[in-house]
Amino acid sequence: MTVDLSPEQRLFRDTTREFLAGTVPVEKVRALADSAAGFERAWWRRAARLGWTAPMADERSGGGSIPGNPTTDLTLVAEQLGAACAPGPFVTVSAALSGLTCSPDHCGDVIGAVVAGEALISWALYEPGRGLDVLARGGSAADVPLTGTIAAPHAGGYRLTGVKDRVEAADQADLFLVTALGPAGTVQLLVPADTPGVTVSPGWTLDLVRRTGRVSFDEVLLPESAVVHSGAAAVAAVRRQLHTAAVLTAAESVGATGRAMEATVGWLRDRYTFGRPLASYQALKHRMADNKTWLEAARATTYAAAKLVDAGDPGADEAVSVAKSYVGAKTPVIVQDCVQLHGGIGVTWEHDLHLYLRRVTYGRALYGTPEEHRRHITDLIDRAA
């Protein structure tokens, strides 16, 4: 829980939790695991109407958050999503929206359709064989990213070539927000999924209901209007998107870990051995004390980062990396310990623990690993010196 929530934020959080409990209880999540998409479009439209897509958009596109704190509002939703191991493209849609809203007017219709839950957008960032270094600057030009996805000028528009992977909800997306290299450096383009030359191939994802896939762009012809941002504006938008994706992913991991911990406390209390509950053994009590400490720290740092992002604070960049590195490192450790504490049933399909472990492992890998974010923190120290 976080403590300085307004009454509106508490209501938003509670409504979200109730909606999830009613629509995607664990049995439904397990059933959706066998589906192609992992989630239902109708369900996503309902979620959008609940306000999940509104915070990042501005009023003219039908959005608007409880005053002033869009990232915190979405963090509240994300924590509940993680607790439920819920399906859906929430993180990638939120990240894309946070970038789109820093762009000129012509995105208004797209934003409106996404906010209404009618159109799905996904951020195409990663490339095969590369980590987050795809965003690193290459060569002597500060603005030239190391991405291999190229947008070359062609006939008044662009020709886009490259392959993106680890794209969330790739085979459900109507639009891709593609981070690429253009003539002026970093560029982001809006590419409808049905554009000729766009091929989506689904991949395998550890999470039961989150889906990722590979999207290849084979000389895809796009109009000038497909460019959302370029140059410095693109760099800023990409950073904003990464902040959103990292904080929301961390929040999901906090939620999932919180549920795993609740289940484990209950298990330790009810399970007896050698005549007394597991919970009475000091070695296990002490491990749970460590787990609880790390979980509260994970929660604290996630909400602290969200707050700084909302405030546009210069310290937000470091805070996001602090939160994502800490949460990404610790939550899998905590959930693994929960598995161990359950004994043999902890590694069975039938027990729910693997749902949480899948979610936090996915959360460790995407949008910056602990190692990537720790190096970034030191890069910031280096730049400040």
Rounded to a whole number of angstroms, the minimum distance from the CB of residue 23 to another protein is 27
Q: Which of 191, 279, 335, 339 binds another protein (CB under 8 A)?
A: 279
Q: Which of 28, 299, 358, 364 binds another protein (CB under 8 A)?
A: 299
- 131/202 with CB nearer another protein: 131
**Alpha-carbon gap, residue 85 to 226, rounded angstroms:** 34
Rounded to a whole number of angstroms, the minimum distance from the CB of residue 327 to another protein is 10
Rounded to a whole number of angstroms, the minimum distance from the CB of residue 307 to another protein is 10
Neighbouring CB atoms inside 10 A of 381's CB total: 10
Residue 271 sits in the site that holds another protein (CB under 8 A) = no
- State the SS3 of the chain: CCCCCCHHHHHHHHHHHHHHHHHCCHHHHHHHCCCCCCCCHHHHHHHHHHHHCCCCCCHHHCCCCCCCCHHHHHHHHHHHHHHHCCCCCHHHHHHHHHHHCCCCHHHHHHHHHHHCCCCCEEEECCCCCCCHHHHCECCCCCCCECCCCEEEEECCEEEEEEEEEEEECCCCCCEEEEEEEECCEEEEEEEECCCCCEEEEECCCCCCCCCEEEEEEEEEEECHHHEEEECHHHHHHHHHHHHHHHHHHHHHHHHHHHHHHHHHHHHHHHCEECCEEHHHCHHHHHHHHHHHHHHHHHHHHHHHHHHHHHHCCCCHHHHHHHHHHHHHHHHHHHHHHHHHHCHHHHHCCCCCHHHHHHHHHHHHHCCCCHHHHHHHHHHHHHHHC
Rounded to a whole number of angstroms, the minimum distance from the CB of residue 272 to another protein is 12
- 21/272 with CB nearer another protein: 272
Residue 11 sits in the site that holds another protein (CB under 8 A) = no
Rounded to a whole number of angstroms, the minimum distance from the CB of residue 129 to another protein is 18
Residue 69 sits in the site that holds another protein (CB under 8 A) = no
Q: How many residues bind another protein (CB under 8 A)?
A: 44
Binding window for another protein (CB under 8 A); candidates: 55-63, 73-81, 107-115, 286-294: 286-294
Residue 36 sits in the site that holds another protein (CB under 8 A) = no
Structure tokens at 146: 């190391």
Site string for another protein, 300-339 (x = CB under 8 A): xx-xx-------------xx-xx--xx--x----------
Residue 269 sits in the site that holds another protein (CB under 8 A) = yes
Residue 1 sits in the site that holds another protein (CB under 8 A) = yes
Residue 259 sits in the site that holds another protein (CB under 8 A) = no
Binding window for another protein (CB under 8 A); candidates: 86-94, 101-109, 230-238, 292-300: 292-300
Applying the rule CB under 8 A, the residues between 332 and 371 that interact with another protein are 370-371
Rounded to a whole number of angstroms, the minimum distance from the CB of residue 343 to another protein is 17
Rounded to a whole number of angstroms, the minimum distance from the CB of residue 22 to another protein is 25
Residue 211 sits in the site that holds another protein (CB under 8 A) = no
Report in angstroms the alpha-carbon separations of 187 from 99, 164, 177: 12, 15, 10
**Which residue ranges make up the site for another protein (CB under 8 A)?**
1-4, 265, 268-269, 276-277, 279-280, 282, 285-286, 288-290, 292-293, 296-297, 299-301, 303-304, 318-319, 321-322, 325-326, 329, 370-371, 373-379, 381, 385
